[in-house]
Chain A
Amino acid sequence: MRSLTITVAAALLVSATMAVAQEAPAAPAPGGRAGGAGAQAAQGGGRGGGRGAVQRPAAGPVKRMADGKPDLTGHFSGDAGGANYGLEAHPAMYATPPSRGIVLDPPDGKLPYQDWARAEFMKRWTPEHGYDDPTAHCFVAGFARSLWTPSPYQILQPPGYLVILMERMSWRLIPIDPNRKHLPDNVRLWQGDSIGHWEGDTLVVDTANNNGKTWMNESGDVISYAATAVERFTPVDADTIDYKVTITDPVVMTRPYTLGFQMRRQPGEILEVACHEDNQDLEHLKHVKEEARKNGTLK
């Protein structure tokens, strides 16, 4: 027995491939930039016969708490079709896997980027900027990206809260309290400041106070400190939660946009990803960046 983290590190190169097998409809690409969050799928088979390959029997009805509210408790993973490699639909590119796209609005599936931000996104996607992805440093993925990285999470519903524990060792605490106010404007967080309330069977979550340090995925979709979000968690059946998030980010976009996918219940328990404790990928990505600086492709 050796530690799980070694297994994760050793499997870095296959991880993106596995993530594709779990998530994306098209052929896998080599995992040249499988740093950070993308690496986490490698240990998905650690328990209970693996994730994503399970034949699902028909799920039962939505479970309920004692107060009649939906019970969202469980071990879930975002079925987001490669969103960790691009929010818009795209083929494999720069050694990142393809994506089926999770942009629901605008209806054409194209993010309403301002010109500078579209250029910034295309720049970030290049291999020499892989080092700049905060999750390559094992930093927190951010309030939304945490939900579509190929890494599962445990949702708990203690009184007055929705708690999301990410296998990739971070958390989101969502107080369900319409009387709560957001933090002072100068207090900015990796996961933002979230406040929830119920609208029928949908948990609606307002998130503000983002620090703008996160990327939306490995390819570098852009989000800024100005972003505010309204997320909607709606249970579909006992094993499925429909997730939609509308993000308003006037620094980056020309208008608000909406992303969506479904979260699916997973077998077994979440494990522990010790990303930073054994981060061998970062040195590789740093080397790629330094080489690009030397040969002039990176200014």
Chain B
Amino acid sequence: MIPIRRGWSVPILLALAISACATKQGTATAPVTPPPPAAATAPAAARTIPRTADGKPNLQGIWQVRNRAAYGLEYHPASFGILPGKSVLVGDTAIPYTPAALKKRNENFEKRADLDPFNKCFMPGVPRIMYIEHPFQIFQTGNHVAMTFEWSQVYRLFYADGSKHQDGIEFWMGDNRAHWDGDTLVNEVTNFNDQTWLDAAGDFHSEQLKVTERFTLVDADTIQYEVRFEDPKVYTRPWSISMPFYRHKDMDRLLEFQCQAEKEEANGEFERDEKTWYPKPKP
């Protein structure tokens, strides 16, 4: 552990951080040259992001958002069950709903306690699963990107093998086909049902939703996550959100949160078996 002392120059600290990082990634030669000035952050980041054996950005690790998008994608104040939060929309102050869809969204908000599918422990859909307040782990192989979530052991499997979307099958979590655009992982998601929401505020979509996600490793510990929504039945035009995912540095494995099992145990529908369940009852 290197103590940070007043008087150390910022470049030295940065260089130490970069070299420590490189060592952790197992890089054979740590960079010894001082980092470039702040104006050249993009090239510096490009040099220091971890990469897989095939040279792609290495997104693997445990990640989580640090925002309130789960409660509302638009800038919103607090209300019952809703924590306040800043907008994650890009270039818009509101989601461009059609008038009828906006009416439905507002009804959803009023009746959210009863209507929100997340409260029923249903699969949250995409992209909502990405910004609920639970960690997830990313895995990469040559042809697949997988994401496993603490929340109810949901997972996502992206096929990055040039294959096409399924024909005629709907999925709660969509059908995922990915490719690399330079250093950005681009994933197109279609074949949705119309059962999931985008957040706890009642923002929603139809089965015509097409989601395009872009995952960019901006530094070793940050993924910038951008999502474009297209759904002519619900929105007047495409719109986007953007947010960072932060790496969990102090977590070496995901645990489990089984939403429905916890709920049924709590309300007595899934009764404890004294003979087999942990912990063993005291004699």
Interface centre among B139, B154, B171, B277 (most CB of A within 10 A): B139
Residues of B contacting A: mostly: loop
0/1 string, A46-73, CB within 8 A of B gives 1: 1100000000000000000010000001
Known contacts being A1-B170, A269-B159, A277-B122, is A224 close to B53, with CB within 8 Å?
A: no
Are A66 and B53 neighbours in the complex by a CB distance under 8 Å?
Answer: yes
Interface 0/1 of B246-283, CB less than 8 Å to A: 00000011111010110010000111010111111000
Known A3-B193, A156-B144, A175-B253: A251·B169 in contact at CB below 8 Å: no
Chain A residues lying within 8 Å of B264, measured Cβ to Cβ, are: 137
Question: Which bracket fits the contact residues of B?
Answer: 35 or more
Residues of chain A contacted by B153 (CB below 8 angstroms) = 140, 169-171, 190-191
Chain A residues lying within 8 Å of B258, measured Cβ to Cβ, are 139-140, 190
Q: Report chain A residues within 8 Å CB of B239.
A: none
Interface string of A242-257 (1 = CB under 8 A from B): 0000000001100000
Instruction: Determine if B172 and A277 form an interchain contact, defined as CB atoms under 8 angstroms apart.
Output: yes
- Whether the pair B255, A73 counts as a contact (CB closer than 8 A) is no
Contact with A along B151-178 (1 / 0, CB 8 A): 0111101010000001011111100000
Q: Which residues of A contact B277 (CB under 8 A)?
A: 211-213, 224-225
* Contact assessment for B278 and A212 in the assembled complex, using a CB-CB cutoff below 8 Å: yes
| Known contacts A1-B168, A269-B159; A224 and B255 CB within 8 A of each other | no
* Interface membership of chain B positions 204-242, coded 1 if the CB is closer than 8 angstroms to chain A and 0 otherwise: 000000000000000000000000000000000000000
- Whether B168 and A276, one on each chain, are in contact in the complex, defined by CB atoms closer than 8 angstroms, is no
B278 & A156 in contact (Cβ 8 Å cutoff): no
Q: Does B184 contact A (CB under 8 A)?
A: no
User: Please, which residues of chain A bring their CB within 8 A of the CB of B139?
Assistant: 156, 158, 161, 163
Find out whether the CB atom of A277 lies under 8 angstroms from the CB atom of B60. no
Cβ contacts under 8 Å, B279 to chain A:
186, 225
Q: Is the CB of A188 within 8 A of B146?
A: no
> Chain A residue with minimal CB distance to B149?
A171
Complex: A235 Cα to B63 Cα, angstroms: 32
- Shortest beta-carbon distance from A134 to chain B in Å: 7
Given contacts A120-B275, A173-B254, contact A270 B122 (CB under 8 A): no
A159: interface (CB < 8 Å): yes
Of B137, B193, B260, B278, the most chain A CB neighbours within 10 A belong to: B278
**Cβ-closest chain B residue relative to A282:** B269
Q: Given A173-B254, A212-B273, are A163 and B170 neighbors across the interface (CB < 8 Å)?
A: no
Say yes or no: is A298 at the interface (Cβ < 8 Å to chain B). Answer: no
Contacts of A252 in B (CB 8 A): 276
Q: Complex: how many Å from CA A157 to CA B53?
A: 14
Q: When A137-B270, A154-B157, A171-B148 are in contact, do A188 and B278 touch as well, CB less than 8 Å?
A: yes
Contacts of B260 in A (CB 8 A): 137-139, 276
B88 interface contact, C-beta 8 A: no
Contacts of A14 in B (CB 8 A): none
**Set of chain B residues within 8 Å of A3, measured between Cβ atoms:** 170-171, 193, 195
- B261 & A190 in contact (Cβ 8 Å cutoff): yes
Say if the beta carbon of A222 comes within 8 Å of chain B: yes
A272 located at the interface, meaning its Cβ lies under 8 Å from any Cβ of chain B in the complex: yes
* Partner of A271 from B159, B169, B278 at Cβ < 8 Å: B169
Contacts of B137 in A (CB 8 A): 173
Min Cβ gap B283→A in Å is 14
Looking at the complex, which one of B53, B171, B269, B280 makes contact with A225 (CB distance below 8 Å)?
B280
B48 at interface, CB cutoff 8 A: no
Q: Are A165 and B276 closer than 8 Å at their CB atoms?
A: no
* A117 partner residues in chain B, CB cutoff 8 A: 275
Within 8 A of A (CB), among B38-66: 52-53, 60
Answer whether residue A2 sits at the interface, using C-beta atoms and an 8 A cutoff.
Answer: yes
Cβ of A293 to closest chain B Cβ, rounded Å: 13
Is A4 on the interface with B (CB-CB < 8 A)? yes
Judge if A189 is at the interface, Cβ distance under 8 Å: yes
B73 within 8 A of A: no
Asked if A95 lies at the interface with its beta carbon under 8 angstroms from chain B, I say no
Whole-angstrom distance between the alpha carbons of A3 and B166 in the complex?
A: 13
Look across to chain A and name the residue whose beta carbon is closest to the beta carbon of B143: A73
A144 CB within 8 Å of chain B: no
16 contacts between A and B (CB under 8 A): A3-B171, A3-B195, A66-B53, A116-B275, A139-B260, A156-B144, A158-B139, A158-B140, A173-B137, A180-B252, A189-B256, A191-B153, A211-B277, A212-B277, A213-B273, A222-B275
Closest 5 CB pairs of A and B: A225-B278, A170-B153, A158-B139, A224-B276, A3-B170
| Additional A-B contacts beyond A132-B271, A173-B148 (17; CB < 8 A) | A3-B193, A4-B169, A134-B261, A161-B139, A165-B155, A165-B157, A169-B153, A169-B155, A175-B253, A187-B255, A212-B273, A224-B276, A226-B280, A270-B157, A271-B169, A272-B173, A274-B122
Residues of chain A touching chain B, judged by Cβ–Cβ distance below 8 Å, are 1-5, 46-47, 66, 73, 116-117, 120, 132, 134, 137-140, 154, 156-159, 161, 163, 165, 169-171, 173, 175, 180, 183, 186-191, 193, 210-213, 222-226, 251-252, 269-272, 274, 276-277
